[in-house]
Amino acid sequence: MIFSRALGAITLAVASIGAQAVTNVTVQLGVNPNFAGGTGPVNPVLTQAGPAELSSGLVTGGFSSSGMAHAYADIGTLKVDGTSEGSLNSLARASWRDDFMLNLPGVAANTQVTVNFTLLFDGSLNVGSSNIGSASWQVRADVGGGAYDLGGDATLYNNSPSLAKHGYFGDPLGALHGTATFLTGQNLPLIVELTGVAQTAYDGHDGPLATASFDLAHTLRWGGMTVSLNGVQQNDVILTSGSGFNYLQAAPVPEPGTLMMALCGAAVLVARRRLSRT
């Protein structure tokens, strides 16, 4: 279970780490029909220094299967959405990787601090009632290297008798909170990844084609961080990052792009059953 923590105000200075920093974003799609025919599978991957975006367009397969996927990544913001109909797997993944360093004025380098950080996450999963359908999300974040400091995931299953589970299982959507401990004055990695998957298949029962989607509103934004020393929150923090992004504050709400609005219209292919936040 993921627990909430309140964020406090912090005074800050933000600069660039320098040429040694590693900063990039990655977007990946996988739209794979389970039967031959149609346009066939699409599986592109793109990694670059600046904002990256991929869209599969409509992918078709045998037995009236179709689907699409879209992913957008920038430092501080990730978006994924996709649909599946008939018998098809649709995946979209977006991530960013940056380097950062924390220092506390008047405090020696290599001093251990604790960071509480937030990811602002919202969206919906949808599945139709016929045949086999499921949709899922997964979030991972590593602040400072080593093991993941934050993980969340969930899956929505439809009511197909071929499935052992029905309904929503996993973490609720909403703000996700993580904690990391590391040393000041060191150049450290920060990695955040968002994945969405929609899967459909035939279960041998009559009825309309199976449908599933993780929709366009699925958005993850960096929500800021607080820094504590010996259990006391620090109000004077110097943060530098390779990208110049200010990880002490939340990323701004992104404006919807033309491509994203177009994909929104394609979502009418999928039965709309809104998943309310728990």
Residue 112 lies in a domain: no
Burial group, residue 267, by CB count within 10 angstroms (0-12, 13-18, 19+): middle
Taking only the tens place, the pLDDT of each residue in 24-63 is 999 999 999 999 999 999 999 999 999 999 999 999 999 9
Residue 241 lies in a domain: no
Residue 15 lies in a domain: no
| Residue 275, pLDDT above cutoff 70 | no
Hey, what are 87's tokens?
A: 């018998």
Residue 142 lies in a domain: yes
Taking only the tens place, the pLDDT of each residue in 97-114 is 999 999 999 999 999 999
Domain count, the chain: 1
From CA 257, how far away is CA 81, in angstroms rounded? 14
Residue 7 lies in a domain: no
Hey, what are 233's tokens?
A: 């929150």
Name the more confident of 256 and 252: 252
Residue 274 lies in a domain: no
Would you list the DSSP string of the chain? ----------EEEEEE--TT---EEEEEEEEEESSS-TT--B--EEEESS-EEEE---EEETTTEEEEEEEEEETTEEEEEEEEESSEEEEEEEEEEEEEEEE-TTS-TT-EEEEEEEEEEE--EEE-SSSEEEEEEEEEEEESSSS-SEEEEEEEE---TT-S--EEEEPPSS-EEEEEEEETTS-EEEEEEEEEEEEEE--S--SSPPEEEE-TT-EEEEEEEEEEETTEE-SEEEEEESS---TTSBPPPPPPPHHHHHHHHHGGGS--------
Domain residue limits at 75: 21-99+120-223+257-269
Residue 252 lies in a domain: no
**pLDDT (mean) for 251-258:** 68
Place of tokens 């995946």: 91
Residue 229 lies in a domain: no
| Residue 6, pLDDT above cutoff 50 | no
As a whole-number percent, the residues of the chain with pLDDT over 90 amount to 76
- Yes or no: say if 84 and 67 are a contact pair by the CB < 8 Å rule: yes
